[in-house]
Structure 1
Amino acid sequence: MDALAPAGAARWTRRAARFLPRSRAARAWLGLAVVAVGGWYVSHLERTPVTQRLRYMHVSEAEERRLAAASYREIMLQHGHRLVPAQHAAARWVRRVAQRLIAATGLGDSLKWEVHVIDAPVANAFVLPGGKIFVFTGLLPLVQDEAGMAAVLAHEMAHQVARHAAEKVSQAKLVLWGRLMMAVLFDPNLARSTALLDLGVLKPHSRRTENEADYIGLMMMAQACYDPKGAIGLWQRMTAYEKQQAGRRGNNEIAKYFSTHPAGEERIDNLRRWMPEAEQKRTESNCESSSRLFAAFNHIAGRTRW
């Protein structure tokens, strides 16, 4: 295999060279174009909140709101008839946990959060840019208690805090250009180029943002005085459920590389590694005195459990 590598590299180099300009002036213009594109890319780099990860962002908040509004309309058309009434016990319980997270983290200052519970046997939840959270009732038996619900909601809120939806759209724009360039310069088979970029860029990037939301969400629930260990319990139950579902579909170990989410065991290991920091965050939030206030709030609101 080693002897074939130089020959293969030379073949790709010759193929790419056919598309490069021959004249010195044209090469100079190409160099300037590369510098301009590089400068444009660098000018759109920014740091994520909390984790300070460097990322490319080319979606404005106004564009993000427009995309979210379109998604919201589509979701309501599909699931609007299944929304649980606001005064239903499950809806009140989910909303109460969300309100506690919002109040403790100060996220209500710039966003108008809305929590919708959809009556469907789906173990899932998601958030749209702008603060609209959707939770399916199929997830509630796995959540079990308020700490588990806080882990779910904090994770979804973390996606909003980090603007992951806008980041994914920005990443998709880059990948689109990458697909075209790979098809033109190296491989005219666009489908093959698409698969390579999907497995090598998009899916790893999606798993990275999920891990980031796990971290930010863990800190958020600890700041709201929920026991951060509840996140570990949640993901242990979720992992067991996912394995059960995967067994029915005949899934295998290779499938995790095709997934947009990290494996459950990986998430649990990460949460355990971050747990000392989360416990410290909870201690700094003066939770002993806050717990009496939360208990009174729960008593007034009526303690409800799904």
Structure 2
Amino acid sequence: MRALRLVLQPARRSLGVVATRIPPRSTTAPSPILRRIQPQFPGRRLFSQTACRPNKWQGPPRDPSRDPDYQLRVRSRDPTYQLSRAKPLVTHDSLRRFIRSPSLHTVVVLSIVGAVAFYFSNLQTVPVSGRRRFNCFSEESVKAASDAQVKRIEYDVEQTGKRFLGNWDPRTRMVERVMARLIPVSGMEDAEWEVRVIDDPRTANAFVLPGGKVFVYSGLIPIAKNEHGLAAVLGHEIAHNLAEHVGERMSSQIGVNMLLYSVIFLTGGIAIFATSFIGGGILDLLFSKPMGRLQESEADYIGLMMMAEACYDPQQALGFWQRMERAQQGEPPEWMSTHPSNHNRIQKITEWMPKATEKMEQSDCQGTSAFADMFRSAMRRGVRME
């Protein structure tokens, strides 16, 4: 053994190998390399960009009969079961506390006071009838709504296959001649007037939107018969704009909608069907339709005076409404309509005829707007015209 040791030792020296003792790896403190790397990637595995995540594998599926939580998990994923266990958004106790809340009482009182003040500050008197009405919309707001309605009419005409008659058509030129005499007496020369005649022989109707957009259906012209009869219709439609009836109708919808939505809110949405359909129909019969008949009667009077001032024969208005009555056989009862019956219309126009004839005789036929100016002045002062 000693001889063998002597032989190996020189060999080790010749190879330059020095035997060193390798200390055992420490299990308590990391190496200097790990201490430099680990702080840069907290919560991650070494040499990996993926965060450490717990293993959520629950093993092979267990027998549902031996799993007490199986039925609960199945039912928790069932929408019907979840809906049956859902709590109501509004309970009787929460609603009772809400109604008894002092802050709610304060808000209600302030809202009522504000609404009453707003209502009385926007009351007007219609000069020709002395009727008090609520109108909170300005002329600019009404014109903006009218512009949207013009686009809707043009779209409907296009979709139904109808067309607008050209300016060269004799019916269009007839309407333009009548409007050329009625516009000066209306006092609305600054409006952007435009005449559109819709080719529809089956419809006898005409309307003038705020801002000066005139629409006439061709079926009305044979009933009008001449320019005097057409002036009675167009004078009536212009009168709606002079009396600001469109703004009044828009304003009336505010109160109706507030009443309907308040009932829906107080009933928790239970009476939404009855409120929307039945309640809306009742309010329509009690308020909207009677107001519409009053507006039509006012427009009949104003239009009659304007056509007389434009030197159109007011007697021709009687003939027009008589022909309209014959053409509209089977019209609904007056209480179901927004317009007076043709019979009552003829009776009223007959009562106003002496004054209209006097207006025509006093007119110089030069397109003066004496009646329209008098109407606007009386409406600003809140007085009735004599």
| TM-score using structure 2 length | 0.62
Question: What is the aligned partner in structure 2 of residue 268 from structure 1?
Answer: 346
C-alpha displacement of 1:78: 2.3
> Residue 112 of structure 1: which of 169, 192, 200 is its match?
192
Q: Does structure 2 retain, via aligned residues, the 8 Å contact 1:127–1:157?
A: yes
Q: Distance in 2 between matches of 1:130 and 1:87?
A: 24
C-alpha displacement of 1:132: 0.6
Question: What is the aligned partner in structure 1 of residue 24 from structure 2?
Answer: none
C-alpha displacement of 1:184: 5.2
Residue 150 in 1 paired to residue 231 in 2? yes
Q: Distance in 1 between matches of 2:248 and 2:113?
A: 23
Question: What is the aligned partner in structure 1 of residue 361 from structure 2?
Answer: 283
C-alpha displacement of 1:69: 1.0
Using the aligned pairs only, state the percent identity. Answer: 40
For the residue of structure 2 that corresponds to 1:34, the secondary structure is helix
For the residue of structure 2 that corresponds to 1:46, the secondary structure is strand
Q: 1:116 to 1:38 in 2, by over 3 A?
A: same
C-alpha displacement of 1:284: 1.7
Q: Does structure 1 retain, via aligned residues, the 8 Å contact 2:186–2:238?
A: no
Q: Does structure 2 retain, via aligned residues, the 8 Å contact 1:56–1:170?
A: yes
Question: What is the aligned partner in structure 2 of residue 74 from structure 1?
Answer: 152
Q: How does 1:113-152 map to 2 (within 5 A)?
A: 113-121=193-201, 122-152=203-233
Question: What is the aligned partner in structure 1 of residue 305 from structure 2?
Answer: 219
C-alpha displacement of 1:181: 3.3
C-alpha displacement of 1:20: 11
Question: What is the aligned partner in structure 2 of residue 171 from structure 1?
Answer: 252
| Letter aligned with residue 119 of structure 1 | D
Q: Distance in 2 between matches of 1:75 and 1:25?
A: 47
C-alpha displacement of 1:91: 0.8
Q: 1:131 to 1:70 in 2, by over 3 A?
A: same
Larger radius of gyration between Structure 1 and Structure 2: 2
Q: Distance in 2 between matches of 1:37 and 1:105?
A: 34
| Letter aligned with residue 209 of structure 2 | L
Residue 198 in 1 paired to residue 284 in 2? yes
Q: CA RMSD in A?
A: 2.6
Q: Does structure 1 retain, via aligned residues, the 8 Å contact 2:178–2:231?
A: yes
Q: Does structure 1 retain, via aligned residues, the 8 Å contact 2:186–2:242?
A: no
Q: 1:170 to 1:262 in 2, by over 3 A?
A: same
Q: How does 1:42-81 map to 2 (within 5 A)?
A: 42-48=120-126, 51=129, 53-79=131-157
For 1:50-72, what per-residue CA distance to the aligned partner results, in whole angstroms no more than 9, with x for missing partners? 55532111222222122111111
Question: What is the aligned partner in structure 1 of residue 296 from structure 2?
Answer: 210
Question: What is the aligned partner in structure 1 of residue 51 from structure 2?
Answer: none
Q: Distance in 1 between matches of 2:349 and 2:131?
A: 18
C-alpha displacement of 1:139: 0.7
| Letter aligned with residue 254 of structure 2 | K
Q: 1:25 to 1:130 in 2, by over 3 A?
A: closer
| TM-score using structure 1 length | 0.78
Q: Distance in 2 between matches of 1:20 and 1:284?
A: 67
